[in-house]
Amino acid sequence: MIFPRGSIILAGLADLVVGVWALALNGSTGTAGLALMSILLSPCASSSAEPATPAAASPASSTHVAESLPDSKPGPESRDGVTPKPDWVDQPAGLQGTIYRTTVKSGLFVTPAECQKALAPKIRDAVMHYADEVLGPDAARQVGLDDELIQRLCKGNYLETVTSATVGPMQQAHALLEFDGEARGELNRRFQATVVADRLGRVAITTGIVLGLLAVACGYLKLDILTSGQMRGRLRFAAVVAILLVATGAAAARWVLLL
């Protein structure tokens, strides 16, 4: 129920008079004073109270989210999505400490697949050239290169886009080969194993030739004695054929060893 402002003032004055009489009769200043102050302030407080305005929402949460996001600005190494050209691409071949480094390039092609196809045989040729320099002439043929060894020696790859004034953008693949002490030891181990196998093969072929010739000679003499020289012409022809067969077998075995 709502009262007019004048009724509220009259009620406050009445309460004030009652409080003064209570103070005079009881003589208690502390309790009466508190009661009087509460009577005087209660109408004003009740008449002036207004609903509190809610505080505006703080933007702290959105600011925190914005600060926690990583910076999406590309760095100098990945600007425009282009990988920077490594330093080793333009470096000449040579020793750097104990490591021999050389680079191989495919040449200009339209697609990266064509670059890789042209680069593979050039990498093999570079490894064989190094093996000939380190182990001696014609040593690369006896090393026995395989894809696993070549992959271990290849330490870097780079695909370069070269803009040509006549045909437009072209692709060129680069590869970095490194020969450290372990790589040289692996090449030497394979070379020595091949040399040993080749020597053993030569000994086996020579032994087979000697044994074959001895067998032909012994067979000829024995048959000649048994026939009392009556079939000597035929025996000589048979011995020549047998010798040719032995020589053919030896040549075939030597060819197999060279594969």
| pLDDT tens string 69-126 | 233 333 344 445 567 889 898 889 899 889 999 999 999 999 999 999 999 999 999 9
Residue 147's pLDDT band (cuts 50, 70, 90): confident
Residue 15 tokens read as: 């309460």
**Do the beta carbons of residue 8 and residue 43 sit within 8 Å?**
yes
**Do the beta carbons of residue 160 and residue 171 sit within 8 Å?**
yes
pLDDT in tens, 164-174: 778 888 999 99
C-alpha torsion 15→20→26→30, nearest 10? 90
Amino acid at 50: E
pLDDT attached to residue 15 = 59
Q: Is the pLDDT of residue 221 over 60?
A: yes
- State the burial class of residue 213 (Cβ atoms within 10 Å of its Cβ: 0-12, 13-18, 19+): middle
Residue 110 tokens read as: 């339209």
Q: Is the pLDDT of residue 47 over 90?
A: no
Closest CA to 107 of 159, 168, 153, 176: 159
DSSP state of 4: -
CA distance 135 to 141: 11
Helix (H) or strand (E) holding 147: helix 147-153
